[in-house]
Chain A
Amino acid sequence: MPGKWDWLKDEIGFSNLLTGGRMIFKVVQGKLSADDLTKCALCPNMCRHACPVSIVEGRETTSPAGKARIALMIREGRLELNLDNLEPLYTCLGCDLCTLYCPFEFSVADLIRPVKEEAVSRGVVFEEFRKVFENLETSGDIYGNADSGADGSGKVLYFRGCTVRNERPELAEKTLTLLDKLGYEAFTISETCCGLPAYNLGNTELFKKVAKRTAEKLNATGAELIVTSCPSCAYTFRVLYPKYGIKLKPQVLHITELLGEVIGGLKLKGAGTVTYHNPCRLAMHLGRRGLLKSLLENVEGLEIREPRRELFCCGHGGSAVSRLKPELAKEIAAERREQLRDGAARVVTACPSCELALNGDGLEVLDIVEFLLEMMEE
C-alpha cells in the first residue's frame, strides 16, 4: 500500500530536491516541524464551535486559535506581557473540548500554559488570583477556610475537595451514606486542597508545594483507596501528581468510577425522564466519557434523554473564567442549561462545580450520588 506522502514524492520529484522540495521532505519525514503553539495559531479555528467561551463570548481574541495567536505574540515579544494581554489567555475554561476537533489533538489550555507560568513567575498576576494563591498558601483551601475536621482512619478515604466542603457539605454526608450502603467504611480527614486551582492559574510552583503537602498527608493516613466527589481532584491526583513526580500511595477513584464497578449489584428503580451533564474533567481528562450515562442506565424504569450536546463546559471549569469574568461564566452556564433543557428538566451530573453552576432557572441538577440514593430509596 502506498504511504501517506508518496504522492508528494511523485509530484515534487528529485529535481526539486535541491530547491524548496528538500524542506517539504524534511517536514514529512518529521525532521522539521513548527512548535505546537505556532501550529495552533495558524489554524482557522476549526474547533471554535466546540469552545464554550468562543460560542458564548464570540470574541475572536478568545477563540481557541485567537488565544494561541495572542500567546505566540507575547512569547515572541510582539505583545507586552501585561494583564490586558493576558486576559484572553485566562478566558479559557481548560475543558479541552478543542482537542476533540483538532487534527493535532492539541489542548489550547496546555499550549498557552507556559505564557501564564511566565507571567506568574514575573509577578504579572490578576488581583482576583492573588487571593486564591494566598488562601492556598495559608489555609490550604481555595476559599480560605482551613478544614478543622478530625482525621479518621481506615482503608477507604473519602476526599471531599474544597467545593464540596465549602459549598455542598450535604453532598459529603450523602456520599458517605452511599459508601456505607455499598459496604465501604469510608473516613474523612482534615483536608488540604489538591492544588489544581494554582495549576490552572499558571502558578505551577505553588501547585507543587500544595500538592506535596497534600500528598504527604494522604499517604500518612495509610488508606488504600481514595474516593472523591470532585473529578478535578481525581484528575489532579491521578494525572498531575505523577507528571510532577509527586507520589500518592493509595489508588484514586472518582465516585462514578467506584460506582461503575459495583452498580450491577444494586437494585435501582426510578421513573420519569432525566438527562445528564458530563463534567469535562471526568469525560475529557479522565477519559470516562460514557460512564455517567451508563450508571443511569442501571436504573430500572428511568428514561434517559441525550443532552443536545454531549459535551459542553458548565462555564466554571478551570477557575479562572468564573473569577475573572463571572458574567461570562454565568452566560456559559445559561447556554448549557438551554442545551440540557432540550433533554429534560432533571439533570444528573458528577461534579460539584458543574452542579452549582447549572442548578436553577427551571432546571434541577443533582449529583449522581444524590440521584442514586433517591433511586435506591424508591
Chain B
Amino acid sequence: MTLTFDEVLKRPKRGSVDEAIAELKNLLGDKVSTKPADLFSYSHDYWLITFHWLLKGKVPALPDAVVFPESEEDVVNAVRVAHEKGVPLYPYGGGSGVLGGTVPEYGGIVVDLKRLRDLRLYEDDLMVEAGAGVNGYYIEEYLNRRGYTLGHFPQSLYPSTVGGWVATKAIGQFSTRYGGIEDMVLGLRAVIPPGKLIELKPHPRTATGPDLRKLFVGSEGIFGIVTRVWLKVRPYPEERFLLSFASESLEEALDSVRRILHRGARPAVVRIYDRVETKRHFYKFEELYGKIGTVIIVEGDSRLARAEKEIVEREFKGVPAGEEPVRHWLETRFNVKEISEFAPIGVVIDTIEVAVNWSRAAELYENVIRAMKSVKGTLMASAHASHFYDQGVCFYFTFAGVPPRGRSAGEFYNAVWDAAMRATLDSGGTISHHHGIGRHRRGWLAEELGDAYEVLRKVKLAIDEKDVMNPGNMVM
C-alpha cells in the first residue's frame, strides 16, 4: 500500500481477510483487485462530508479488495467466501449515495456490480429485466428507443445503477405520477448469506405472505446483494404539458397541489420552491422572482393528460408563469456543480430530504429551516418540495455554511444535521424520504423506528448471522 494519507479512519480488520482474498483470486482471477488505486476508489461514495476529509488527506475507510463480478455465480462465490471467512462485504453500484451507505467501514471486500448489465424488454407484460449494474441513463435510453419509459429520473440518473436504485429505495423527479422505485419493482434476484441466490418472481401481484421483495427495496445491502430486477415500464408519454405558477405563500402552493392530487390528477413532476430557491433557480424569470415558484409537468395519454392539465389549471391558486420556467428546469436539472465549487474552499453544503403529512407540512418546513439556521456557521438554509402524495409531501432542504472558528467541518456538519433531524422528528416527519440511512443517518434511526428498530436488527441477523453484509450500515 503506497497511500500516504495521514489519517485513515479504518477500524481493525474483521475475519480472515487474507484467506478470503486468496480464495476469491483463485475462483475469480483478475476479477479481484487489491491495487491501491482501486482500494482508494472504493473508499467512499458521495457522502459529502467525506470530500472535506479527502481534501485534507483523509479517507473514511479502505477495503482490502474489490471484486468485479461478471455473473451471478461470481456474486454467489463472493458472498459464500465472505460468509465462510467472516469478512465484511459491501455491494457497490454507482457510488452516488450521499450517506456513506457503501463506505467499507470495517475493511473487507467491495463488490462492484456494474458489469452485470444485461437488459431485456417484455412488451406484452410491460416489464423490463435488468442486471443490477445497468446504468440509469442506459436503461431509459434502451426503453425510449422501443417506445417505453421507466419514468424514473433521480438526479443521479447518469451515474447510478438499477441495483443501486433498488437497494437505496431511490425516487425520481417524475415520481408523483410514476412513483418511487418501490412502485416499479415486480421481482428481483439477490444473493444472501451463506451464498444463496434467491428469486422473487415478477408476478403482477402475489399474496404469498409478506412481500419479501420489499424487504430488499431500501435494504442498502445489509441482507444481501441484489443482482437482477424486473421493473414495470410505461408507454412513452404521448403528450406533455409544462406549467408553472407564482404563489404568495408556501402554504398556498402546498394547498393547491394537495387539492389537485385529492381530485385524482397525477402530474408527473411537481416542485414547489421556497422564496430562496425560486430566486436561486429561476432568477431569469421576473414573474417568479421573490415569489414561491412551482413547476408542474403533466404527461401521458393525450386525453388523460389534457384532463389532468385542466384540473391543475383550475385548482392551482397562483399566477400562471408559462412553460419557460419548466423548460429551464428540464435543461438544468442535472447540472450538479455546487459541491465542486464550494467544498474545496471549506464551505460545507449538503441536502436533507424528509417527508411529512399534509397537516404538518408547513410547520415542519418552518421548524427545520429555523433549526438549521440556528447552528452557528450556517449561512443559508432553503428547501423545495419535490415529491407529492395524497397523504403528504417530501421536503428537500439545502444548507451551506462555514464551520466557526474552533469547529471542524465534520462537527459543524453533524450539528446542522442534528438540528434538522431533531426538528423533523419533533414536527411529525420521517427522517428520510429517499436518500436512505447509510452510515450517517443510522444514529437517528432507532428513535424513528422505536421498537421496530429491534425487529429490523433481528431480521438482519436472521438472514446474515455473521453480520458480513455491509456491517455498520443502517443498523449497528
A residues near B, CB below 8 A? 1-4, 6-8, 10-12, 16, 19-21, 23-24, 26-27, 32-34, 38-40, 42-50, 55, 57-61, 63, 66, 69-70, 73, 76-80, 82, 84-85, 87-88, 101, 103-104, 308-309, 342
* Contact in complex: B345, A46 (CB < 8 Å): no
Least Cβ–Cβ distance between A13 and chain B, in angstroms: 9
Is B341 engaged at the interface, CB distance under 8 Å to the other chain? yes
* Contact in complex: A59, B36 (CB < 8 Å): no
* Contact in complex: B402, A7 (CB < 8 Å): no
* Contact in complex: B2, A3 (CB < 8 Å): no
The answer for the CA separation of A77 and B55 in the assembled complex, in Å, is 12
* Contact in complex: A55, B112 (CB < 8 Å): no
A12, A45, A101: the one contacting B96 at CB < 8 Å is A45
Least Cβ–Cβ distance between B313 and chain A, in angstroms: 27
Known interface pairs A61-B38, A69-B41, A78-B3; A12-B379 also in contact (CB < 8 Å): yes
Is B92 engaged at the interface, CB distance under 8 Å to the other chain? yes
* Contact in complex: A49, B283 (CB < 8 Å): no
Query: Can you name the residue of chain B whose Cβ is closest to the Cβ of A101?
Result: B158
On chain A, the residues within 8 Å of B335 by CB distance are 103
Query: Can you name the residue of chain B whose Cβ is closest to the Cβ of A88?
Result: B37
Is B346 engaged at the interface, CB distance under 8 Å to the other chain? yes
Listed residue (A39, A55, A58, A342) with the most chain B CB atoms within 10 angstroms of its CB? A58
Encode B50-69 as 1/0 by CB contact (under 8 A) with A: 01001101000000000010
* Contact in complex: A21, B112 (CB < 8 Å): no
On chain B, the residues within 8 Å of A309 by CB distance are 141
A-B pairs with the 4 shortest C-beta distances? A20-B402, A58-B114, A34-B344, A7-B279
The answer for the CA separation of A49 and B283 in the assembled complex, in Å, is 30
Is B149 engaged at the interface, CB distance under 8 Å to the other chain? no
The answer for the CA separation of A78 and B7 in the assembled complex, in Å, is 11
The answer for the CA separation of A167 and B159 in the assembled complex, in Å, is 37
Query: Can you name the residue of chain B whose Cβ is closest to the Cβ of A342?
Result: B145
Is B206 engaged at the interface, CB distance under 8 Å to the other chain? no
Is B382 engaged at the interface, CB distance under 8 Å to the other chain? yes
* Contact in complex: A45, B344 (CB < 8 Å): no
On chain A, the residues within 8 Å of B57 by CB distance are 76, 78
The answer for the CA separation of A58 and B400 in the assembled complex, in Å, is 33
* Contact in complex: A60, B42 (CB < 8 Å): yes
On chain B, the residues within 8 Å of A8 by CB distance are 280, 380
Least Cβ–Cβ distance between A119 and chain B, in angstroms: 14
Least Cβ–Cβ distance between B377 and chain A, in angstroms: 6
On chain A, the residues within 8 Å of B36 by CB distance are 79-80, 84-85
The answer for the CA separation of A3 and B35 in the assembled complex, in Å, is 47
Least Cβ–Cβ distance between A219 and chain B, in angstroms: 43
The answer for the CA separation of A88 and B42 in the assembled complex, in Å, is 14
* Contact in complex: B137, A49 (CB < 8 Å): yes
* Contact in complex: A20, B339 (CB < 8 Å): no
Is B343 engaged at the interface, CB distance under 8 Å to the other chain? yes
Query: Can you name the residue of chain B whose Cβ is closest to the Cβ of A38?
Result: B344
* Contact in complex: B141, A46 (CB < 8 Å): no
* Contact in complex: B135, A44 (CB < 8 Å): no
Q: Which of B30-51 contact A (CB under 8 A)?
A: 35-38, 40-42, 46, 51
On chain B, the residues within 8 Å of A50 by CB distance are 158
Query: Can you name the residue of chain B whose Cβ is closest to the Cβ of A40?
Result: B340
Listed residue (B135, B156, B377, B380) with the most chain A CB atoms within 10 angstroms of its CB? B380
The answer for the CA separation of A6 and B284 in the assembled complex, in Å, is 11
* Contact in complex: A79, B37 (CB < 8 Å): yes
Least Cβ–Cβ distance between B53 and chain A, in angstroms: 12
On chain A, the residues within 8 Å of B68 by CB distance are 58-59
The answer for the CA separation of A370 and B280 in the assembled complex, in Å, is 53
Is B289 engaged at the interface, CB distance under 8 Å to the other chain? yes
On chain A, the residues within 8 Å of B202 by CB distance are none
Given contacts A20-B347, A60-B42, A308-B145, 7 further A-B contacts (CB under 8 A): A24-B379, A27-B342, A27-B345, A42-B340, A45-B95, A59-B38, A60-B38
Query: Can you name the residue of chain B whose Cβ is closest to the Cβ of A33?
Result: B341
The answer for the CA separation of A11 and B158 in the assembled complex, in Å, is 31
Encode B254-285 as 1/0 by CB contact (under 8 A) with A: 00000000000000000000001001100110
Is B133 engaged at the interface, CB distance under 8 Å to the other chain? yes
What are 23 A-B contacts defined by CB distance under 8 Å? A2-B279, A2-B286, A20-B403, A23-B345, A23-B346, A23-B402, A24-B347, A27-B341, A34-B345, A38-B340, A43-B336, A49-B136, A49-B157, A49-B158, A58-B117, A60-B41, A60-B92, A78-B57, A79-B37, A79-B40, A82-B2, A104-B337, A342-B145
On chain A, the residues within 8 Å of B117 by CB distance are 55, 58
B2, B55, B141: the one contacting A38 at CB < 8 Å is B55
The answer for the CA separation of A236 and B114 in the assembled complex, in Å, is 35
Least Cβ–Cβ distance between B226 and chain A, in angstroms: 16
The answer for the CA separation of A77 and B57 in the assembled complex, in Å, is 10
On chain B, the residues within 8 Å of A32 by CB distance are 345
Q: Which of B402-426 contact A (CB under 8 A)?
A: 402-404
On chain B, the residues within 8 Å of A77 by CB distance are 4
* Contact in complex: A44, B402 (CB < 8 Å): no
* Contact in complex: B159, A20 (CB < 8 Å): no
The answer for the CA separation of A68 and B445 in the assembled complex, in Å, is 35
Least Cβ–Cβ distance between B67 and chain A, in angstroms: 11
Known interface pairs A44-B96, A342-B145; A24-B159 also in contact (CB < 8 Å): no
On chain A, the residues within 8 Å of B153 by CB distance are none
The answer for the CA separation of A70 and B286 in the assembled complex, in Å, is 44
Least Cβ–Cβ distance between A22 and chain B, in angstroms: 9
Least Cβ–Cβ distance between A335 and chain B, in angstroms: 10
Encode B85-103 as 1/0 by CB contact (under 8 A) with A: 0000000101110000000
Listed residue (A49, A70, A87, A101) with the most chain B CB atoms within 10 angstroms of its CB? A49
The answer for the CA separation of A226 and B354 in the assembled complex, in Å, is 62
The answer for the CA separation of A29 and B344 in the assembled complex, in Å, is 16
On chain A, the residues within 8 Å of B241 by CB distance are none
The answer for the CA separation of A46 and B334 in the assembled complex, in Å, is 8
The answer for the CA separation of A41 and B117 in the assembled complex, in Å, is 25
* Contact in complex: A1, B279 (CB < 8 Å): no
* Contact in complex: B382, A6 (CB < 8 Å): no
The answer for the CA separation of A377 and B450 in the assembled complex, in Å, is 80
Least Cβ–Cβ distance between A98 and chain B, in angstroms: 11
* Contact in complex: A46, B159 (CB < 8 Å): yes
* Contact in complex: A19, B41 (CB < 8 Å): no
Is B138 engaged at the interface, CB distance under 8 Å to the other chain? yes
On chain B, the residues within 8 Å of A70 by CB distance are 37, 40-41
The answer for the CA separation of A45 and B4 in the assembled complex, in Å, is 25
* Contact in complex: A3, B276 (CB < 8 Å): no
* Contact in complex: B135, A48 (CB < 8 Å): yes
The answer for the CA separation of A42 and B145 in the assembled complex, in Å, is 33
